[in-house]
Amino acid sequence: MKKLALFLMFLIGMPYVLSYENVTLEYDYPSQVFVGEEIEIKVKLTNTAGNNVWECKVKIDKEKILDYVLPFIDFKVDEAKFKAPLYYKKHDEYGEDQVSLNIVFKKGIRGGTYTIPIVFSGRVGACKDGCIPLPPQEKKIKIVVIVPKPFLSIQTNKRVETKTDTVDIPFVLKNSGTGKAKNIVITTSPGELPTKVDLNSTELNPEEELGGKIILDASQLSAGIYTLDINLTYSDENYNNSGKKETVDIVVTKETTPTTMPPPENDKGDTYYAQGMQNLSDKSYEEAMNSFIEAEFHYLNAGDTEKALECRTQIEAIINLLNAEKEVESTDKYLLIIGLLIGSALSGIGLTVWLYNKEL
């Protein structure tokens, strides 16, 4: 009885031993995909089992996929059968067949690496439908899922000069990311700089560009350098927001209308300036300084800043000259006092010597 049991166990186990790894499976699939992209998993079977194979198939084992991942996979084809029978050899070539499984990772899944388990089953033998089952095989394929993300940049001039009341600041938006950008908005700051944005779209596909311009009203701005911030906001397909900022220096210069006749204030400035030069020639420094001060005042009223600066230069030169003279005068007084003191001392010494000689 014991020998019979051992014999039956041998017969049961023998088919698996004989067919172990005799069927060769090759898998072909992409290593990474984008969300929403259909994935084809190709499975090639080569019959190296030593006999015909039957009822061979591959199937995605959904029970081994994580519960939180399963809702985000659309199984287009989750099971596929190979042709049967698949002959062992024909004209000295192994029998081959290929099938495909198809899935899609749906919107909402997080980017990362996911495992898809695939199991193989079949039968082998000369009898119809196969005599014994082939040992099952399992393949765990790993696929990197990429969630498309837009990445926008702003290309524009860093410095813009204008002499007119309005200036156009062109810019180009470029999407160098992998996803579509939506809800594109351009704003500027600070609010004290009056601007208007000209942009004809709020969406931008990957590897595409979008041009626009900012119109600045410079009519109320005085001459000077202003800093303008171009602020960009946008979102991806899942409404995750991103932003970008570029800074532009605006140089505003105002053109003045030339006049053929100088304004009256300029005439007065010329008169006082000429008087100051005459006083300076006569070495009447205080009178010269007063004349230049009057000339500077009238030049500023006339808007002639260049002539006003000339007056200021003359005034400062006179002040320096007067200060220098005071220092010389102080030095002379000091030397006079020292001389008197030394003279007195010498006179005293002489008188003492004379009295001494007289007593002798």
Answer for the pair 216, 191: CB distance below 8 angstroms, yes or no. Answer: no
**Domain-wise residue ranges, the chain:** 16-146, 152-252, 264-349
Q: What percentage of residues in the chain have a pLDDT greater than 70?
A: 81
Looking at CATH, the fold of the domain delimited by 152-252 is given as: Immunoglobulin-like (2.60.40)
User: Which CATH number is 264-349's, of 2.40.240, 1.20.58, 1.10.8, 1.10.3470?
Assistant: 1.20.58
Tell whether the model's pLDDT for residue 1 goes beyond 60: no
Rounded distance between C-alpha atoms, residue 298 and residue 93, angstroms: 110
Cα 298 to Cα 8, 256, 275, 285, 292: the distances in Å are 126, 19, 14, 20, 10
Place of tokens 């000077």: 224
Helix, strand or coil, per DSSP, at residue 313: helix
For residue range 274-328, what is the model confidence (pLDDT) as tens digits? 998 998 888 888 888 898 898 888 888 888 888 888 888 988 888 888 887 776 6
Question: What is the predicted pLDDT for the residue at 90?
Answer: 78
Task: From residue 71, give the alpha-carbon distance in Å to each of 30, 62, 100.
Answer: 21, 11, 22
User: What is the rounded CA–CA span in Å between residue 57 and residue 54?
Assistant: 9
Instruction: Annotate 195-230 with b (16+ C-beta within 10 A) or e (fewer).
Output: beeeeeeeebeeeeebebbbebebeebeeeebebeb
pTM given for the model: 0.53
- Angle value at C-alpha 146, between 138 and 62, nearest 5 degrees: 30
Answer yes or no: is pLDDT of 203 > 50.
yes
Q: Over 60: is that where the pLDDT of 19 sits?
A: no
Residues 6+ apart with CB under 8 A from 278: none
CA atoms within a 13 Å half-sphere pointing along the CA-CB vector of 124: 20
Q: Per-residue pLDDT for 181 more than 60?
A: yes
**CA dihedral of 16, 22, 28, 33, whole degrees rounded to 10:** 20
Over residues 124-138, the mean pLDDT reads: 82
**One fold for both 16-146 and 152-252?**
yes
What letter represents residue 174's amino acid?
A: K
Mean pLDDT of 70-94: 91
Which residue from 285, 342, 272, 279 is spatially nearest to 311, judged by alpha carbons?
Answer: 272
Lowest mean pLDDT among 67-81, 290-304, 312-326, 332-346: 332-346
Supply angle C-alpha 160, 164, 169, rounded to 5.
Answer: 35
- For position 137, what pLDDT does the model report? 93
Q: Name the burial class of residue 78, with classes exposed (0-12), middle (13-18) and buried (19+) by CB atoms within 10 angstroms of its CB.
A: middle
Confidence of residue 331 (pLDDT cuts 50, 70, 90): low
The Cα diameter of the chain in Å comes to 171
Q: Which residue has the tokens 């010498």?
A: 346
For all residues of the chain together, what is the average pLDDT?
Answer: 83
CA 124 vs CA 16, 22, 100, 233: distances in Å: 10, 10, 22, 63
* pLDDT for residue 12: 46
Residue 267: closest CA among 246, 248, 295? 295
Please tell me the distance from the alpha carbon of residue 143 to that of residue 360, in angstroms, as a whole number: 132
The DSSP output letter for 72 is G
Q: What is the model's pLDDT at position 37?
A: 92
16-146 is classed in which CATH architecture? Sandwich (2.60)
Residue at 154: amino acid letter: I
| pLDDT of res. 9 | 44
- The first and second tokens of residue 127, run together, are 């009898």
Alpha carbon distance 1, 113 (integer Å): 55
